[in-house]
Chains A and B, each alone.
Chain A
C-alpha cells in the first residue's frame, strides 16, 4: 500500500476514528515511514496551534442579557399557554353545549340564539364554569409577568 493511501487516513487515525484493523495498519506504517511520520506530526501541530488560540471574554453583561432574553421567552410561552387554554376551554364549552342539545333532542338552532352561542364560547363564561381549574391562576401569572415587564 502506498504512502498516499495511508496519508488519506492519517487525520482519522489521529482522531481515533479508524476501524481497529485499519488503525493498526496505519500505526505500523507510520512507525517505519519517516515521510508519513512527518506528515502526521504536521497535522498534529495544526491541532496544537488551533487549541492555542486564546479565549476572549464576553461583555460583562452577557449573562444578564441572556437571562433577560430567556425570561422574555418564558413570558411569551406563558402567554401562548394561556391563549391555548382559552381556545381549548372555549372549544370544550361549545362541545359541551352541542352534546347537551343533542342529548335533550332539542334543536340547537332554536335553543341557542347567536347571542347564546357567543356567550357560550366567551372566555369569562368558561371561567365561571370552571372548565379549566387553574385558568385563573394562569391568567394571574401572565398579568404579573406583564406588570413586571412594564
Chain B
C-alpha cells in the first residue's frame, strides 16, 4: 500500500520548486498508470503517450494542486479524461483491434510446473480478453475501484457520473470477468477429466 502522505508531500515539494520530487512521483506512478491506460485505450504506443501527457498536465498544474484527495486519484482522473478524449476520436473508433492471445502478458510464475504455467498463461489471456470485451466505462470503473482502490465517489468524479452509476458499472464488469474466469475453470476441469 502506498503512503498517501508521502505522495502528497512529494507533490507539495514539487509545487514549491523541487523537480526531484516530480521525478520521484513519475518513477512511482508512471508504470501503474501505463498499465491502466493500456487496458483503457488498448494501444501500447497511445497509452504511453497519454501517460506522458498526464504527467505534463500534473507538471503544469503544480501551483493549483490542493491535497484534497490522494495524488494518485488526481493523476488517474487526469489520465481518464485524456483517455476518454482519445477514445472519442472518430479515427480511433473506426479502428478495431481484437486482443491477440499471443501477446498475453508474460507468465508470472516462473519455476512452476509446466501445466501450471500453461494454465496461468491461459488465465492471463482470458482476463485480458474479458477485460477488453467490457464497455469502456465498465472497464475504467472496475479498474479504478478494484485495482487502484478508489472509492465509488472518486470513480464517479473521474467518469463524470453518479456513485449509483459507478456501483452498477463496477458490479456488471466484475461479474462479467468472474463469469469468464469461471468458464475457463470449467473448461480446464473438463480437459483434465478427458485426460484421465
Contact = CB atoms under 8 A, between A and B. Distances in A.
Nearest to A76: B60
Contacts of A69: 52-53, 56
Given A53-B127, A54-B106, A66 B55 contact: yes
Interface in A71-117: 73-74, 77
Contacts of A65: 52
B35 A53 contact: yes
Nearest to B180: A46
Interface string B34-67: 1100110000000010011101100110000000
Interface stretch (B76-84, B91-99, B170-178, B187-195): B170-178
A11 B56 contact: no
Main SS of chain A's interface residues?
A: helix
Chain A interface size range: 20 to 34
Contact of B52 (A17, A49, A57, A62): A62
B175 A62 contact: no
Contacts, number: 111
B167 A17 contact: yes
A12 B26 contact: no
Main SS of chain B's interface residues?
A: helix
Contacts of B151: 17
B34 A50 contact: no
Nearest to A12: B167
Contact of B177 (A49, A56, A73): A49
A55 interface: yes
Interface in B4-57: 19, 23, 26-27, 30-32, 34-35, 38-39, 48, 51-53, 55-56
A122 to B, nearest CB: 32
A54 B39 CA distance: 12
Nearest to B55: A66
B190 to A, nearest CB: 18
Given A50-B146, A50-B177, A67-B19, 16 more contacts: A11-B167, A12-B167, A15-B152, A17-B163, A42-B179, A43-B178, A45-B178, A45-B181, A49-B181, A53-B39, A54-B105, A59-B48, A62-B30, A69-B53, A70-B59, A74-B60
20 contacts: A12-B167, A14-B174, A15-B145, A15-B170, A43-B174, A43-B175, A46-B181, A47-B147, A49-B123, A50-B131, A50-B146, A51-B147, A53-B35, A53-B127, A54-B35, A55-B34, A56-B35, A58-B48, A62-B30, A73-B56
Interface of B: 19, 23, 26-27, 30-32, 34-35, 38-39, 48, 51-53, 55-56, 59-60, 105-106, 108, 123-124, 127-128, 131, 142-143, 145-147, 151-152, 163, 167, 170-171, 174-175, 177-179, 181-182
Interface of A: 8, 10-12, 14-15, 17, 39, 42-43, 45-47, 49-59, 62-63, 65-67, 69-70, 73-74, 77
